[in-house]
Structures are given as structure tokens and as C-alpha cells.
Amino acid sequence: MELNQILVLGIFLSTILGLVFSSRSPSLIFTLATMSLLITGTLSMSNVLGNLSNKGLVILVLLLLVSIGVDKSRVMKTLARKLITANKRLSTIKVIVISFFSSAILNNTAVVATLTGPLIHNQHIAPSRLLIPLSYAAILGGTVTLIGTSTNLIVDSFLIEHGQPGFQFWDFTLYGLTAGLTCCVLIFLLQKLLPELEPRANEFKNYIIEAKVEEDSPLVGKTIEDNHLRNLPELFLVEIVRKRQLISPVHPETMIQAGDKLIFSGNIERVDSLDHLPGLSFFADSNGLLRENLTEVIITNRAPIIGKTLKSVGFRSMFDAAVMGVRRDGERLSGKLGEIKLKAGDFLLLATGADFKTRPNLNNNFFLLNELKVEKKLDGWQDILAVGGFLLSVALAAFNILALELTLIFLLVTLVLTKVVTSNELKRSLPTNLIIVIVSALSLSSALESTGTIDLFTEALQPLLLNASPFAVLVTVYLCTLLLTELVTNNAAAALMFPFAWGISAAMNLPIMPFALAVAFAASASFISPWGYQTNLLVFSAGEYRFRDFVKIGFPISVCFSAIVLFMLKLQYGF
């Protein structure tokens, strides 16, 4: 073994050990691996820079950026709000089905992040009975199409890097639907094994928010339950003020009437969930101020407005601001915002005008704390553009009419020009860590091959390969990837295992496609560990789970999924 081969193999093994045993982020570990390759001269900078333009990586980044607009749309928020009802069995089925099919075309991590809040705050089913099924269904749904999960796109990028045509949009569909739907049924049957845990207390600051029901609102004449007002993420309907009468507590059967003042308590940054309820206007809206940027202030102990109500003080004319929410530590506020008598130490969320910071009376009344960003509600045509444009882009690519990267670039530019997404949102959402992992993994793969390390590996295995059946080798590659994805992450497992799958298939003179599919499916099949997949990590803390909860239902699902995928690969490729 030559020196450069020893160095590359050492860096590769150190990367795996770092991913398994270190608490450092995968992006940092892969960065150190790439720097080591550059310093030792086993990799050139031009090779690293060339990997930045990899087609699979470009598509993945574009999908994540375009999904910002889709996540803002009314579709996902309405689905989330209507997900849970009193029928527990039906609600569980809806969670699994919606998560599965949404994740086939949307980023599955984004799907789980969007639906987690409503599941945690639902009033009918313990969240711990729903969150693992949500995550597992999203993982399974991601295996149905090329764009369902970043893992598929990473393996696709490796194929392209090796001169192969890459995956077609539907190459995963038969396997993903067959194995995925079967495992979804199994998830539903095993769901009863999960614990019924009460969610921990909310850690956000509780503001009270007032929303008025307009005369023409479709909420009128329906109950709280029918309008799904008990399933809002981090917002709770605590009171209704009706013709100067206070209704508290609010029961599910309470009927909404025109003119009702709905008093919510919760996380002010989730007020965008109320924006998607038709026919509601907020206390601050009547003042004509925008609510996207909110300023949080605290009332000083010498403020002239102490003891006065918001309505009597002439707040808008005095400060060029309107109150969006009020919070008082150690005390539960009640009633309409405009009639609350202000006290020293009260926190106010203000929708501010252009002259707010120039008003001379600010320092006498407030300490300015910080600014909060509240997601802007999309107009009706923006909603259609975001969702319809995305579906059209995917359809054009799926039926080979236009290249996916071309349709996504056009859509992203359109979303920016129409202000569905802003340049600042794109900057904040750029998946820098994921880009680093993929570019570094591609670079490590190049080093393994260019130094002949992969050839050395396959030569060492030659005696075993000659005596083994192709299917046994395929199963071995699949199981090694599966083990690695439970120990590290799905993206890292796919990136680290593909070079060896490529080398083995070449040594046995077998087509690369079944091995590439095996790596992609195995890397996504993280059901036993909460650390192997992003969606599992999201629900792990949210559901107050323990490791054994994942093992309990994850192990049979992993076995079922793996058996179906491997059997179908054997049938299709004649192993």
C-alpha cells in the first residue's frame, strides 16, 4: 500500500469515527477531512471547486430554497390545522397518509417541521402517539421520488460524477410505494405500542392576541371544533368576548358568532397561523400598520401610560405604533386588548410605523428589547403561484419535458420577483452545512478512487467476491449502509458508502444501478435510531421519547422495509 493510499484510508476511517463518536457537526468533520486531503496533496482545490457545480447538489439547493414559498402557503397550514379530530383512528391515518404523500414531492424535513406543532398542541391524542408515525411516514414518503429526500439526490450526484446518466424521476417509485405503503400499515398497527406521554410545558413567552370575527367570515355558525381552532401550533384560544360577555373556558362545542373577539395566548411568532383563518382581523390591523416586523418593548416604571387602557391612551397617534400582543409575567391577562389597564413591566409587541423610532416620548414609556420577524401571509395569487408553480415544475421534470434544475431556477426567480420570498429569506435558508457535507463527501470519494484505494479494497475482497452471489454482495452493501445510517446520518452514510458500492459493482462487472438504489434506500431507512435522520431528531425531543421507543416499532419497520426493497431489487435485476 502506497503512502497516499494510507493517508486517504486513514482520513476516511477518521471521518467515520468522528461522525460516530464525536459531538461535532457532520459539516465540521467533513470540512476537516477535505482540508486534510488538500494539505496532504491527495486532492486538488480544482476538484473541490468543481464539486460545487454538481447537478444533484444544485437541484437539492434549489428545492430547499423553493420550498420556502411552498411552506408559506395556505395549503400546508390548513392541512396541519385540520389534521386531528376526535376520531383517533382516523386522525392517525390522516397523519400517516398526509405525511407520506406530501414527502414524496416536498422536503420531508420541512413537512415534519410544519406538522409537529399542531400535533403537539392537539386536544385529542397524546403527541407521543403521533410524532414517531409522522416521522417514519415522512421518511417512507421521501423514498417514492427522486426529490423526496436529499439522500436520493446525493446518490444521484455521485452517479453523475462517475459519468452515469443519473436517476430518472420515477426510478424510486415502484419500490418506494410498495415498501412505503406496506410499512405505513405496519406503523398504524404498531402505533399503540408507543407511550402516552404528556408534552412538557411550553418554553415560549405567552402573549395574548386579539382577533375579531368579521361579518362575512366562514367561521361564523360553526363550532370551535369544526373550525379546528384547538389545533393551532403554539397558540391557544383561551377566551371569547361576545357583546361585552366573557366566555371562558372555551368549549369545543361553542359556536362562533360574527363580531366575536377571540383571545389567544401563546407564541406571538406563530401568529401567521391565524392569518390563514379566513375572516379574522387583528387588534393592530385596524391601525393600518404592517405586522411582518414587530418590536418588543417593556413599559418603564415612570411611564405616563401606566394605569390607562390602550383604547383611552390614543396609542397609535402617540407612538405611531399599534399593539399586537400583551404579556404580563406572573399574571394571566383576560379580556379585550383595548380594555387592559397597563402596568409597569408589561411587555408589548408593537406593529410600528415609519416614525416610531423618532418619537420623543419613547424613552419615557418603554425600554426597547428586540425586533421579531413574523411570516407574511401570502396573497391569494401568491399562494397559487407558490404551490402551483412548484407542482408544475415537478410535473415538467417528471415527464421529461424540461430539466428539473431549469424549472426550479425559473420558479425561484419568479418567487423573488413577485415577493413570495425575499432575498434575506434565501440567505437565511441557504443550506450551508448540507452543501459542505456533499461537496466534502464528493471530494473524499474522488480521493479514494484517484489514489487507487477503492481498487485496492476490491482486490482484497476479490477472493470473497468470486465465491459470492451478486445478490449476497448487494445485501452486504445494503446492510453496511443501513448500519452506518443508524450510527451517523443518512446523508453521510450515502456519501461514504457509494464509492465502495461503485468499486464492488465494477469489480464484479455488475450494473451500478441496483447498488446505487440499495445505497439510497438503505441510507433513508433510519427507523431504529433517533439520530440517523433529521425528522427523527425533530420528533425525538418534541415527543419526550426515549431511545427504546424508536427501537420498539422501528426495528420491525426496518426489517419489513429492507426485505421488500431487497426482494424487489432481486426480481428486477435478476440476481
Q: Helix or strand or coil: residue 352?
A: strand
Whether 67 contacts 106, CB under 8 Å: yes
Q: What is the pLDDT of residue 286?
A: 54
Q: What is the pLDDT of residue 548?
A: 87
Backbone angles phi, psi at 291, to 5 degrees: -110, 10
The whole-angstrom separation of Cα 270 and Cα 273 is: 6
Cβ-based burial of 354 (10 A; exposed 0-12, middle 13-18, buried ≥19): exposed
CB count within 10 Å of CB 435 equals 17
Q: What is the pLDDT of residue 371?
A: 66
Q: Which of 227, 423, 210 is nearest to 333 (CA)?
A: 210
Backbone angles phi, psi at 240, to 5 degrees: -130, 130
Q: What is the pLDDT of residue 570?
A: 93
Q: Which of 132, 113, 120 is nearest to 68 (CA)?
A: 113
CA distances from 186 to 179, 182, 456, 521, 561 (A): 11, 7, 43, 18, 10
Specify the DSSP class assigned to residue 309.
B
Tens of pLDDT along the chain (575 residues)?
688 888 888 888 888 888 777 767 778 888 898 999 899 888 888 888 887 887 777 887 888 888 888 877 777 677 777 788 778 899 999 999 999 999 998 878 778 877 887 787 777 788 889 999 999 999 999 999 998 888 898 899 889 888 888 898 889 999 999 999 999 999 999 998 998 876 554 444 578 888 889 998 999 999 988 888 877 777 888 889 888 788 888 888 899 999 998 888 877 767 767 777 888 887 666 555 555 567 888 898 888 899 998 888 888 888 888 888 888 876 777 777 888 888 888 888 888 877 888 888 888 888 887 666 556 667 778 888 888 898 898 888 888 888 888 999 999 999 999 988 888 788 877 888 878 887 887 788 788 878 888 777 777 776 776 678 899 999 999 998 998 888 777 887 888 889 889 888 888 888 999 999 999 999 999 999 887 787 887 788 777 788 888 999 999 999 999 999 999 999 998 87
The whole-angstrom separation of Cα 478 and Cα 475 is: 5
What are the percentages of helix, strand and coil residues in the chain, rounded to 5? 60, 10, 30
Specify the DSSP class assigned to residue 214.
P
**pTM strictly above 0.95:** no
